[in-house]
Structure 1
Amino acid sequence: TFGGDSTVYHITNETSSKGKTRSSEEWVNMNNVYINGRDTWYKADLEKLTGHSYADLTDAIMNNHLITNPSSDLIKAYKLKRNKNTYTLTAKTIDKALMKKTAEPIFDTTPQSTGQAKVFKQMQKFGKYKSMTVKAVVKNNKLATFNIFVNMKLGKMMTVKVGQSYGNFGSHDFLKVPTNATNAKNLPTTDNKKKK
Structure 2
Amino acid sequence: MHKINHQFLNMPFYTPDWEISHLFLGTFNPEGGDNVNYFYGRSKNKTWKLLSEIFNEDFNPEELEIFLDKLKKHKIACMDIIKSANVPEEKISSINGKGYSDSKLINNSIQRDYNTQNILNTISQNKNITIYSTWGSGPKLTNWTDEVGKIKNITPLVSPSMAARVPLGTEKFKYMLDDWSKKITPTNI
Tell me the TM-score normalized by structure 1.
Answer: 0.25
Tell me the TM-score normalized by structure 2.
Answer: 0.26
